[in-house]
Amino acid sequence: MLAGLGMMFGCASPVPMGALYTELKLPVAATGNGADKKHGVAECKSVLGLVATGDCSIETAKKNGGVSKVSAVDWEGKNILGLFGEYKLHVYGE
């Protein structure tokens, strides 16, 4: 049983994941424009790993922050036991 759990949770993934708790802030992209006067956020949520809702698109984050020219995009995620997840996409620019 422990070997099965190790195989299930020990695999490498593109995003670090904790089996019990995950809280991350990761970069997605940066253009080098250097203009970070405005900040927009788009949010998504997940419940029980069965239902996920929201709009975490760059376009929504831009709209929410009044950003027209993007200089950086970051991603933030929190998940507790796979029961509740909250994910945010941050957009910075002018």
Q: Each residue of 34-89: pLDDT tens digit?
A: 667 899 999 999 998 889 999 999 999 999 999 998 999 999 999 888 889 999 99
Q: Indicate the pLDDT class of residue 21, thresholds 50, 70 and 90.
A: confident
Q: What is the reported pLDDT for 37?
A: 86
Locus of tokens 């831009």: 62
The domains of the chain are located at: 19-93
Q: What is the reported pLDDT for 82?
A: 81
Q: In what order do the strands lie in the sheet with 84-93?
A: 21-30, 70-80, 84-93, 38-47, 51-54
